[in-house]
Structure 1
């Protein structure tokens, strides 16, 4: 058998096992299967949200699945392990199965699709897409898409980080197909840079790291500071605070304005006194003259 035919046979058998387990473990929240071939055995790891349903009472379901895998699918020395899904809201197979079962119970597809979309995004997914196809609300078939966030459709991010699952709901009008794509929080998209915050320092590290001591200028001996020539009171106050000096505020110097020399006029009283002094000798001379005239007239008459 060539390598191509060998890998085709292995993958087709894995797909058949996956479909069989999805039907058998529908109530257990089946989320996928991994087949690991080893020298002494073949491990079959079943992922489910409810491991107790997969195991069954006293392991009855596990024994039944082991018998079917060995006889119907031709797997030798099967050992089944059950792994619980930590966060079923980020598993596309679980969400597709849950939506299909709710549609079969009669729940409206829009209400259930939006509810699952919100819960998936609340669980931390980068993006989620739900596609429902079939006879939804009319005679003719159509599809309805519900999307939130970012979903990679091509390239390596789509192959590595997008979880894809399909399921179907069988109703009276016909079959409704369901497709769910979920991009988990661990996806690394090209062009997206995540900056990590700095780690907080411990108290011990903060105590060990000391600030460098500041260089204090040494005082020069033999130099006395003088405050002559400092006229700004604010500067003197600063020096007072630094050196403990008492500041004595000097009164501001009054600049005498030189007035132009003007002749002082005597006041009115002095002027009247001067007039009286000058008028008194004049009156005495007049009286003396009048007396002489009187004497002359008397002498002439006699």
Structure 2
């Protein structure tokens, strides 16, 4: 087999592996996988938002995943490591999956888009662009593009700063594609001057024992699975006003 065919075969296998991992560890908030071949085997680093779900009780999840990668995908002696993502909202893959889940649950596409845009910018992104296309409103395909912040679109800066991912979701209307591009401040470019926002106050919640109001803890903010995260976001999303609702008030 020629070297070109080997490259094509490897890329195809990586695509199948990514699709499998996206579905298999969906609840863990899968972002991406880094695969490198070594003399002793294959190292697979899984970047997820909730490592505990991937590892499982007493490592059962890791063992099952290792056997699956070895038998179905032909990886020699796979050695899996799990890396936790510090800010899931700055990962295009995670946000694509979350937005796709919102659309699967029946959330209006524009409301889901504006909510995702807001979440990404509030978590320190330099800029973001969300493109959604497909059967959005009727039989004809259409697309919408929403942008916020500073997002280089071409040149060296775009290659260094911007990360992107694409996801597809089947809805009652038809197939919808989601593309999210995020520019991160960590890879800052001197030409762009960013404004520093003041930190927001912590949300007040009622203590079940004392009955007094207190600041919301980090454990209460974080959901245990991606499904819980989606459900929490849907409750908050109801407070978000779309352009159609704003126009209706003005009439």
Unaligned runs of 5+ in 2: 195-251
Counterpart residue number, 2:58: 58
Counterpart residue number, 1:12: 12
Counterpart residue number, 2:210: none
Q: Which has the larger radius of gyration?
A: 1
* Residue 55 of structure 1, CA deviation: 1.6
1:157–1:187 Cα contact (<8 Å) kept? no
Deviations 1:88-129 (A, max 9, x none): 010000000000001111111111211111121111111101
* Residue 19 of structure 1, CA deviation: 1.3
* Residue 82 of structure 1, CA deviation: 0.7
CA distance in 2, matches of 1:27, 1:33: 16
The normalised TM-score by structure 2 is 0.72
Question: What's the secondary structure of 1:138's corresponding residue?
Answer: coil
Counterpart residue number, 1:41: 41
Counterpart residue number, 1:253: none
* Residue 188 of structure 1, CA deviation: 4.0
Question: What's the secondary structure of 1:167's corresponding residue?
Answer: strand
Query: Structure 1 residues 160 and 9 mapped into 2: Cα distance closer, same or farther (>3 Å)?
Result: farther
The reply on whether 1:81 has 2:76 as its aligned counterpart is no
Question: What's the secondary structure of 1:183's corresponding residue?
Answer: strand
Question: What's the secondary structure of 1:86's corresponding residue?
Answer: coil
Counterpart residue number, 2:186: 186
Deviations 1:182-237 (A, max 9, x none): 0111234474479xxxxxxxxxxxxxxxxxxxxxxxxxxxxxxxxxxxxxxxxxxx
Unaligned runs of 5+ in 1: 195-302
The reply on whether 1:169 has 2:144 as its aligned counterpart is no
Deviations 1:38-72 (A, max 9, x none): 11121100011011111223322222211121111
2:90–2:125 Cα contact (<8 Å) kept? yes
Counterpart residue number, 2:107: 107
* Residue 35 of structure 1, CA deviation: 0.4
CA distance in 2, matches of 1:190, 1:15: 36
After superposition, where does 1:1-302 map in structure 2 within 5 Å? 1-189=1-189, 191-192=191-192
CA distance in 2, matches of 1:6, 1:159: 27
The normalised TM-score by structure 1 is 0.60
State the structure with bigger RCO (CA 8 A, min sep 6), 1 or 2: 2
